[in-house]
Amino acid sequence: MKGSKNHNFGKHLSEETKRKLSESHKGAKNSSWKGGMTPENRRIRNSFESNLWRKSVLQRDNLTCQKCGQFGGRLVIHHINNFAEFPELRFIAENGITLCDKCHREFHKKYGEHNNTKEQLENFIK
């Protein structure tokens, strides 16, 4: 149902009702609940350490894509040595490089999503 045909059209919910609705869908009450288990990859990538790593690489690279020179916009921090194969290097700033979203997609289109190497990145940046 769209627009004025919807029986809730134009109605506003109170803050209390919004809070109750929110609480009614949290945790085990949510249809996507999987027993409280967050996949390890997502847990690691959303961690405090990961956020600090991203910020430090962005700051070092002056918010600039190292391939095309774009300043700001949609920037991605790319792991130079593979995230999966080198867990000890995941949060080392020297293992990250700033790429714009377009260049990052271009890199993975050319070299694939897995087992990427430092040499591939060096060739791509040239």
Q: Global pTM?
A: 0.70
Copy the structure tokens of residue 84: 């999966």
Q: In a 3-state reduction of DSSP, which class is residue 42?
A: helix
Query: Tens of pLDDT along 90-112?
Result: 999 999 999 999 999 999 999 99
Mean pLDDT of 10-36: 88
Mean pLDDT of 7-22: 87
pLDDT for the residue 33:
83
pLDDT for the residue 87:
93
pLDDT band at 2; cut points 50, 70, 90: low
- Bridge partners (DSSP) listed for residue 100: 75
User: Residues 6 or more apart from 86 whose CB is under 8 A from it?
Assistant: 79, 95
pLDDT band at 3; cut points 50, 70, 90: low
Q: In the 8-state DSSP scheme, what is residue 27?
A: G
Query: What is the rounded CA–CA span in Å between residue 65 and residue 63?
Result: 7
Give 13 or 77, the one with higher predicted confidence: 77
